[in-house]
C-alpha cells in the first residue's frame, strides 16, 4: 500500500521521501496525481497550494517547501496574481513542470518543461513504477 501524505499550509513534513508540490492544481491534475501515485509503491509527500489571497507567510512557506521538493507542478491558468509574480522564478528551475492553455508565452524561452498531462511522471528517473 502506498503511503501518501497530503500537506497544506502551514504544515511541513521533513522526511526522506519523494516530495511533490502542486501549485493551484485543477481537479483533473489532482485526480491524475492520485491515479499515478496509487499505481506506485512509493511513499510520497504531496504539498498542495491553492490559496488565492496574498499572505507573505504563505509565500515564505511555499518557497520553503518548493526548495525541499523533488517535483513541482504549476498550473498557470489557475494561479493567483501573487503566484504569477513568482512563476518565472519557479519555472526556471528544472524540477518545475508547468501547464497552461495559453500560447506564445515567454515561459517557453525559460523552460521546455511545459506539459499537457502528467504522463511524464511515469518516466521520471525511476520514481514511479506501474504495478
pLDDT at 3 over 90: no
* pLDDT band of 131, cuts 50, 70, 90: very low
In whole angstroms, give the CA distance from residue 78 to residue 72: 15
pLDDT in tens, 29-48: 999 999 888 888 888 999 99
Cβ atoms of 30 and 73 closer than 8 Å: no
Burial 6-36 (b: 16+ CB within 10 A, else e): ebebeeeeeeeebbbbbbbbeeebbebbeeb
List the domains of the chain with CATH numbers: 4-123 (3.40.50)
> Residue 19 pLDDT > 60, yes or no?
yes
pLDDT at 105: 73
For residue 128, pLDDT over 80 is answered with no
Q: What is the pLDDT of residues 45-98, one digit of tens each?
A: 999 999 999 999 999 999 999 999 999 999 999 999 999 999 999 999 999 999
Let me know: does 68 contact 19? Beta carbons within 8 Å: yes
| CA of residue 70 relative to chain centroid, distance | 9
pTM: 0.89
Distance, in Å, from the CA atom of 59 to the CA atom of 36, rounded to the nearest integer, reads: 28
Q: Which pLDDT score is estimated for 104?
A: 61
Taking only the tens place, the pLDDT of each residue in 96-121 is 999 988 776 777 778 888 898 888 88
User: Rounded CA gap, 8 and 22, in Å?
Assistant: 10
Q: How far apart are CA 48 and CA 30, in angstroms?
A: 9
Amino acid at each position: 500500500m502506498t503511503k501518501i501524505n497530503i500537506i497544506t499550509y502551514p504544515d511541513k513534513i521533513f522526511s526522506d521521501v519523494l516530495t511533490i508540490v502542486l501549485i493551484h492544481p485543477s481537479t483533473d491534475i489532482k485526480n491524475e496525481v492520485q491515479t499515478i501515485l496509487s499505481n506506485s509503491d512509493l511513499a510520497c509527500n504531496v504539498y498542495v497550494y491553492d490559496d488565492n489571497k496574498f499572505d507573505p507567510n504563505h509565500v515564505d512557506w511555499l518557497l520553503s517547501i518548493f526548495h525541499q521538493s523533488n517535483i513541482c507542478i504549476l498550473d498557470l491558468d489557475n494561479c493567483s496574481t501573487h503566484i504569477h509574480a513568482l512563476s518565472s522564478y519557479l519555472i526556471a528551475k528544472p524540477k518545475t513542470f508547468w501547464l497552461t492553455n495559453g500560447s506564445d508565452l515567454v515561459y517557453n524561452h525559460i523552460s521546455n518543461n511545459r506539459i499537457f498531462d502528467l504522463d511524464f511522471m511515469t518516466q521520471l528517473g525511476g520514481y514511479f513504477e506501474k504495478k
